């Protein structure tokens, strides 16, 4: 059992942040003492971790809440996706760092660099990475890809944020609609 102060210290956030998350329903206290102090259990640690990871990825609190409340949300799967996203970010930053270092070398005359290489790591690779990710995650048949797309609207923070910006229920609606469409085409 953790108090607000203990959880705030553990996670590196303020007590006011936890109180705000409780007030908006994002991270409710698991119980309250007779003096009305909030208490949190281990599951709250994982939920707070997810909130902070999604925030780190640039998501707003409303979108984070929608994801965490999505019926198909699974902690292990979410952590695996966070790991993949972080690894992709690391690889992209390494490519950008190499481009910066190579550009410095070009400016100082230490190495030659083609004009096109000045923009290495800035975008074409990302398109290829998304394509590989889609095939890896959903296969190559139309039904697999469409169902994967439907799942992605709800499960992938990047797409969930975009879809829920139009309406908070849109990601789950799209998943169901695509599932119905694919089932009808397969029968």
Residue 105 has pLDDT above 90, yes or no: no
Residue 124 has pLDDT above 80, yes or no: no
pLDDT-based confidence at residue 127 (cuts at 50, 70, 90): low
Task: Calculate the average pLDDT of the chain.
Answer: 83
CB under 8 Å to 103, separation ≥6 — which residues? 113, 118
- For residue 119, the model assigns a pLDDT of 65
Q: Each residue of 29-68: pLDDT tens digit?
A: 888 888 888 889 999 999 999 999 888 888 888 888 888 8
What's the predicted TM-score (pTM) here? 0.54
- For residue 111, the model assigns a pLDDT of 84
Q: How far is CA 162 from CA 120, 152, 178, in A?
A: 27, 11, 17
- For residue 12, the model assigns a pLDDT of 93
Domain ranges of the chain: 2-56, 75-186
Q: Are 10 and 41 in contact (CB under 8 A)?
A: no
Residue 131 has pLDDT above 70, yes or no: no
Q: What fold does the segment set 2-56 form as a domain?
A: Multidrug-efflux Transporter Regulator; Chain: A; Domain 2 (1.10.1660)
């Amino acid at each position: 059992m953790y108090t607000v102060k203990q959880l705030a210290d553990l996670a590196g956030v303020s007590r006011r942040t936890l109180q705000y998350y409780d007030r908006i329903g994002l991270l409710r206290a698991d119980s309250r003492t007779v003096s009305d102090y909030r208490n949190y259990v281990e599951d709250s640690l994982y939920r707070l971790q997810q909130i902070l990871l999604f925030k780190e990825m640039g998501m707003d609190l409303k979108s984070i809440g929608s994801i965490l409340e999505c019926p198909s949300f699974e902690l292990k799967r979410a952590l695996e996706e966070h790991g993949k996203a972080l690894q992709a970010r690391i690889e992209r930053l390494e490519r950008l760092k190499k481009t910066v270092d190579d550009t410095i070398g070009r400016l100082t005359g230490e190495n030659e660099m083609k004009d096109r290489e000045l923009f290495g790591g800035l975008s074409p690779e990302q398109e290829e990475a998304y394509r590989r990710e889609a095939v890896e995650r959903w296969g190559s048949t139309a039904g697999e890809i469409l169902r994967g797309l439907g799942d992605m609207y709800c499960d992938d923070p990047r797409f969930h944020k975009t879809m829920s910006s139009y309406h908070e229920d849109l990601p789950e609606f799209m998943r169901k609609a695509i599932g119905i469409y694919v089932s009808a085409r397969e029968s």
